[in-house]
Amino acid sequence: MVRRVYHLLMFRLDSAVSGAFISFAQYEVLALLERDPNIHAAAIARSLRVTRQTTHGLVRQLLRAPLVELLPVDGGVRGIELTREGEDRLEFAQGGADIGIADLDALPPEDRIQVDEALRLLEGQLRSKAGWYRQWG
């Protein structure tokens, strides 16, 4: 059941930002860059809990769009910056990315409380079994 809900949610999130012609994974990278303009690819990977290779692939896609640009190497690290087009695309996509919240808000209050409690319990259970997660979470 968790897997089905996960896939449905990811489908809804990808669909929600597709009007901006980006995937939800690309949206997450853009949102991180907006929140922290000094973030680099390795830190993005840690935040998203994906490999650096995955992050580099996402950044390459965003470079071709061109929604981001690479900054000069500084202290051995190359920064990534949103372009104006990247900022505009992110702003456009942000309304759609909240779709999961809107779905929860549509539930009756007692059901929202039950869903919230169940998700908190599940998160606690998963965190207790995932030692690697604690270093990032």
Residue 34 placed within a domain: yes
The answer to whether residue 121 sits within a structural domain is yes
**Residue range 84-106, pLDDT digits in tens:** 999 999 998 887 766 666 777 88
Give the range of the structural domain holding residue 125, as residue numbers without chain letter. 107-137
Whether residues 65 and 123 share a domain: the answer is no
pLDDT at 123: 82
Considering the domain architecture, whether residues 122 and 59 belong to the same structural domain is answered as no
- Contact indicator for 115, 107 with CB cutoff of 8 Å: yes
End-to-end CA distance of the chain: 24
Instruction: Confirm whether 102 is domain-assigned.
Output: no
In this structure, the answer to whether residues 87 and 23 fall within a common structural domain is yes
Q: Are residues 134 and 69 in the same domain?
A: no
Residues in the chain: 137
Based on the fold, state whether residues 72 and 119 are members of the same structural domain. Answer: no
Sign (positive or negative) of CA dihedral 24, 27, 28, 29 = positive
Are residues 93 and 53 both part of a single domain? Answer: yes
Q: Is 52 domain-assigned?
A: yes
Residue 137 has a CB neighbour count (10 Å cut-off) of 10
Under the banding of pLDDT at 50, 70 and 90, the label for residue 137 is very low
pLDDT at 134: 47
On whether residue 41 sits in a domain, the answer given is: yes
Q: Supply the pTM of this predicted model.
A: 0.74
**What are the tens digits of pLDDT across the range 40-49?**
999 999 999 8
Q: Decide: 29 and 58 in contact? Cβ < 8 Å.
A: yes
Q: Are residues 121 and 92 in the same domain?
A: no
Count of domains for the chain: 2
Same-domain pairing of 8 and 64: yes
pLDDT over threshold 60, residue 67: yes
